[in-house]
Structure 1
């Protein structure tokens, strides 16, 4: 499996509009973060987890020309706002796009993108096939690939991460229970959100993320959903144990 980090930033992105902090002024490309998303190439299959407002830019930058399915972790706009841009894949591939998410998330998409689901559709609107993820305690299948949901809480909002083989991806969380902690254990790679150093109502801090990862004991770990408040990439990485790295936009992994 090849993993490409399409975006590693928080909801405002980095740099943040109007901010003149040293991170937002940094010329290091690793400090320039689009909204969080990841691409998974599994054999001939091509999946994306979350299509935020930067989805079009991310697809162009990563030169992704084929997409087989879209998976959603939850319904917040920084994870869903780019859904309209799957039209390009509809046109190129002459197929409706399979979209996977919890029923609550799919219902939100139907409200916010009502024109996609209208009885009498405007010509050229995106075409999707909704696949509800009904359970979080057993794997579901995406085009022959087994995907294990990973339950977490984003403040009081239930969200999902996903485990495929030895790869675990969990963003926008500040609490995971013992069942999910067990599902993370001994993975090859865990990707986990770490927003900043200071406490936050709905995201793990850097210290909390390190604690979760230390208990899970993956071979490697990468932090994502990073805000400008975390500090410069170079400085933060120097503080981390060698098996934990900060992800950055464009980073590719073989898992």
Structure 2
């Protein structure tokens, strides 16, 4: 299994529009962060997690030729507003792409992007995506995918576990029942927004505590703001790292 962090930035991206802080002005390419999305390759298939606002740029940069399925964490704009850029894959392969999400997430997507899911009379365009509501584990291309309910401030999101890997973006707390699903991970990618606290996201301290409770072997912090420089990696405990766009893992 190959995992690629296509984007590791928070909802504003880094640099943030109009900001002149040292990190937004940094020359380090690892401080340039597009909005959060992830690609998982296994069994000759490509599974995308979230269609970030920057999806077109990410797909072109990484020379991605096909997407076989999409997992959605939740329906906030920075995680779904690139959904229209899936059209290119549909035009190339003439295949309807399955997508998987909680019912509330699908409702928002189908209301906001109805043309992607339904064929409008007389348009001649077929649907691009077919929606699958999920609440428990399911099989996808020979692997078991486990949706993991997460608290995201006063709302919720799904994390996902496949094998000994889990991706938990946009979370501020992990219910005990979900923590039980996350034991024994070789690789964890988790929301670690910034050093200071935030009502809707783990800060660095919270992410470290959660990862230790899971017993994760290696932990990567993602969904990062312009308050974190990649050069601060040395401040993290052993086994913890900051993400950067294009970071890859083989499991």
Under a length normalisation based on structure 2, what TM-score does the superposition of the two structures give? 0.96
1:128 is matched with: 129
| Partner of residue 247, structure 1 | 243
Check the 8 A contact 1:87/1:124 in 2, yes or no. no
Cα RMSD, aligned residues only: 1.3
Equivalent residues of 1:115, 1:121 under 8 A apart: no
1:225: Cα distance to partner?
Answer: 0.3
Structure 2, gaps ≥5 residues long: none
- Which structure 1 residue ranges, 4+ long, deviate > 4 Å from structure 2? 123-126
Write the mapping of 1:1-255 to structure 2, written as runs, cut at 5 A.
1-116=1-116, 117-120=118-121, 122-124=123-125, 127-133=128-134, 135=135, 138-229=136-227, 231-235=228-232, 237-255=233-251
1:67 is displaced (CA, Å) by 1.0
Q: What does the per-residue CA deviation read over 1:223-245, in whole Å, with 9 as the maximum and x for residues that have no partner?
A: 1000002x21112x011123111
Partner deviation per Cα, 1:154-187 (whole Å, 9 max, x = no partner): 0111210000000000010001111222222210
Work out whether residues 90 and 126 of structure 1, in 8 Å CA contact, stay in contact via their aligned partners in 2: no
Structure 1 unaligned runs (5+)?
none
Task: Please give the alpha-carbon distance, in whole angstroms, between the structure 2 residues aligned to 1:121 and 1:49.
Answer: 32
The two structures have a TM-score, normalised by structure 1, of 0.94
- SS in structure 1 opposite 2:156? strand
Aligned residues between the structures? 250
